[in-house]
Homo-oligomer: A and B are copies of this chain.
Amino acid sequence: MDKESLKVIPLGGLGEIGKNITAIEYKDEIIVIDGGISFPDEDMYGVDLVIPDIRYLLENKNKIKGMFLTHGHEDHIGAIPYILKQINMPVYGTRLTLGLVENKLKEHNILRESKLKPVRTGQTIKLENLKIEFIGVTHSIADSCALAIYTPMGIILHTGDFKIDYTPIDGRMTNLNRMAALGKKGVLLLMADSTNVERQGHSISEKSIGETLKRIFSGAQGRIIVATFASNIHRMQQIADASIAYNRKIAFSGRSMENISEVAMNLGYLHVPDEYIIDIKDVNKYPSEEVTIITTGSQGEPMAGLSRIAYGSHRLISIQPGDLFIISASPIPGNDKLVSRVINQLFRKGVDVIYEDLEEIHVSGHAYQEELKLIHSLVKPKYFMPVHGEYRHLKHHRDLAIKLGMKPESVFTLETGQVLEISEDGVNTSKTVHTGVLFVDGIGVGDVGNIVLRDRRDLAKDGMVTIVVAINKENYSIVAGPDVITRGFIYAREAEDIINKVKEISKEEIERCLEKEILEWQVLKNSVRKSVEHFLYHKTKRNPSVFPIIMEV
């Protein structure tokens, strides 16, 4: 029989950014913390989303008691519809977080059968052996929580994503008192956000952005168009406050901006007097100096609001002289060029743009080194496991904990799939469970895999050359073709000689095979493919995908 043990099973989010999901297992109870997506790498052509492979949860379905959400960002809730379709567990979270989940479940048509359980910050959910307490923390989305998980073997404290902001917009600070109290009680395991562990010092308060915004607003003559993250309701509030201060009406543009602002206002997280909200359709009815537009597209996404305005393809908003654009966000790594493209385009159109390189108009929602040190020092855990970050971040968070006095053997730098098992014998990290990713492309989930992606990459690199030939199945002679079509390889008008040569080579190769009575089409296709590939590489130093097709007639 197994000894009593407590397992922490990261199914995503360790050694990677995004796709956060962790299972905590004790006896016959499993709880799931978060269910996030990650965004595809640039070489995952055509993939819309990446979601975690939850085979482990499916195999232990009967143990699962529910999902507990730390906050409403995509990398923590984006995969929930896909997960609930397979395991309809109760989902616990604060009201705003569940409000955002609700929107997703509606889109997937599974809201009705879902079991969303709103909790208040400070509330504790009791299961059979486990108890889960929601502890308020500050982050770049309102209503974020850390989770204290009480187990018969001790307390696990999972910080979620957090920062320490002594002047938070909603007055709801990271609950340091509660963390200190837990520290006093004794915390078995701390799992803490590693995102900003490489940044020295202390993050800046969100409130400082409000001051910058008011300064900028005070000098603006025309419309102000601010692009920011739709989920950053505190930022939205500050933009609204600055607008009201300078007598501007506020319009929201972009689907997620409209959705989230509505949810946030309905639930009381975003406070804007009704008379200041206008519909984006009515923007032109107001004098320019009385309008603020809050839009999506702060990452330069070509289909989002900001880019559409910049390139003149927005349904309702076109650039006016005197418009002032503010990009109140940092480019996420990989998006710098997209953001720069939009900035250039706006300057070309003759309007002004303010962005992070010029003014302090964005702050991070993740704790810097000094904030992390504070949490470690308050909580004084027995064991520590850095979470949320690439390996470099986990490694540096480990180093930080050790510098603060933890023994190296009490700190566990694990990656997705590695199990942290605590028993009375101590900690064992040698077990692994199956984990992985599923690609979402269009409607399909998991029907695009590595082979399909490899083919897409090959096709992208040098295009394709298809060779078709019809062969008489009675006497094995060529009756039509070879015909050649190419796409993405070379300009047809430049390629005439090359294509003729491909036809010639294919013909020779087929005839050679037929003479030798090689009637295995697979063998024949391979020899055609190889000869053509060889010729094309020699001639062009390119490797298009070559597809010979044989028709028997």
Which of A2-10, A134-142, A241-249, A333-341 has 4 or more CB atoms under 8 Å from chain B? Answer: A333-341
Q: Does A437 contact B (CB under 8 A)?
A: no
Known: A456-B463, A481-B551, A540-B442. A198 touches B491 (CB 8 A): no
Known: A488-B452, A540-B443. A464 touches B464 (CB 8 A): yes
Q: Does A119 contact B (CB under 8 A)?
A: no
Q: Does A41 contact B (CB under 8 A)?
A: yes
Residues of B within 8 A of A460 (CB): 45-46, 456-457, 459-460
Residues of B within 8 A of A449 (CB): 491
Pick the contact of A334: B336, B353, B456 (CB < 8 A). Answer: B336
Pick the contact of A547: B444, B466, B480, B545 (CB < 8 A). Answer: B466
Residues of B within 8 A of A180 (CB): none
Known: A456-B488, A457-B460, A487-B459. A392 touches B347 (CB 8 A): yes
State in angstroms the CA–CA spacing of A552 and B470 once bound together: 9
State in angstroms the CA–CA spacing of A336 and B490 once bound together: 31
State in angstroms the CA–CA spacing of A495 and B545 once bound together: 21
State in angstroms the CA–CA spacing of A198 and B358 once bound together: 7
Q: Does A541 contact B (CB under 8 A)?
A: yes
Q: How far is the CB of A493 from chain B (nearest CB, A)?
A: 9
Pick the contact of A552: B347, B357, B480, B545 (CB < 8 A). Answer: B480
Pick the contact of A447: B461, B466, B481, B490 (CB < 8 A). Answer: B490
Residues of B within 8 A of A533 (CB): none
Interface contact B447-A495, CB-CB below 8 Å: yes
Pick the contact of A392: B42, B343, B448 (CB < 8 A). Answer: B343
Interface of A is mostly: mixed
Q: Does A258 contact B (CB under 8 A)?
A: no
Interface contact B463-A452, CB-CB below 8 Å: yes
Residues of B within 8 A of A267 (CB): none
Residues from 494 to 544 in A contacting B, C-beta threshold 8 Å: 494-495, 539-542
Q: Does A485 contact B (CB under 8 A)?
A: yes
State in angstroms the CA–CA spacing of A447 and B539 once bound together: 13
Interface contact A549-B468, CB-CB below 8 Å: yes
Q: Does A451 contact B (CB under 8 A)?
A: yes
Q: Return the chain B residue nearest A544 by Cβ.
A: B46
Residues of B within 8 A of A45 (CB): 460-461, 488
Interface contact B551-A452, CB-CB below 8 Å: no
Known: A547-B487, A549-B466. A41 touches B337 (CB 8 A): yes
Q: Does A220 contact B (CB under 8 A)?
A: no
Q: Return the chain B residue nearest A495 by Cβ.
A: B447
Interface contact B344-A337, CB-CB below 8 Å: no
Residues of B within 8 A of A490 (CB): 444, 447-448, 452
State in angstroms the CA–CA spacing of A547 and B334 once bound together: 33
Interface contact B444-A540, CB-CB below 8 Å: yes
State in angstroms the CA–CA spacing of A488 and B488 once bound together: 14
Q: Does A391 contact B (CB under 8 A)?
A: yes
State in angstroms the CA–CA spacing of A448 and B542 once bound together: 11
Q: How far is the CB of A429 from chain B (nearest CB, A)?
A: 15
Q: How far is the CB of A438 from chain B (nearest CB, A)?
A: 12
Residues of B within 8 A of A479 (CB): 553
Q: Return the chain B residue nearest A415 by Cβ.
A: B348
Residues of B within 8 A of A463 (CB): 46, 452, 455-456, 459
Q: How far is the CB of A55 from chain B (nearest CB, A)?
A: 17
Give the 9 A-B CB pairs with smallest separation, nearest first.
A442-B541, A460-B460, A455-B488, A459-B459, A456-B488, A344-B391, A333-B336, A45-B460, A442-B542
Chain A residues proximal to chain B, CB less than 8 Å: 15, 41-42, 45-46, 198-199, 333-334, 336-337, 340, 343-345, 347-348, 353, 357-358, 390-392, 395, 441-444, 447-449, 451-453, 455-464, 466, 468, 470, 479-481, 483, 485, 487-491, 494-495, 539-542, 545, 547, 549, 551-553
Known contacts A456-B459, A464-B487; 17 additional CB pairs below 8 A are A42-B337, A45-B461, A46-B461, A46-B462, A333-B337, A334-B337, A347-B391, A348-B391, A441-B540, A442-B462, A442-B540, A442-B542, A444-B490, A444-B540, A451-B491, A455-B463, A466-B547
Name 14 interchain pairs, CB-CB below 8 A, sorted by A.
A15-B344, A45-B488, A333-B337, A340-B390, A340-B392, A343-B392, A344-B392, A441-B542, A444-B540, A456-B488, A460-B460, A470-B553, A479-B553, A553-B553
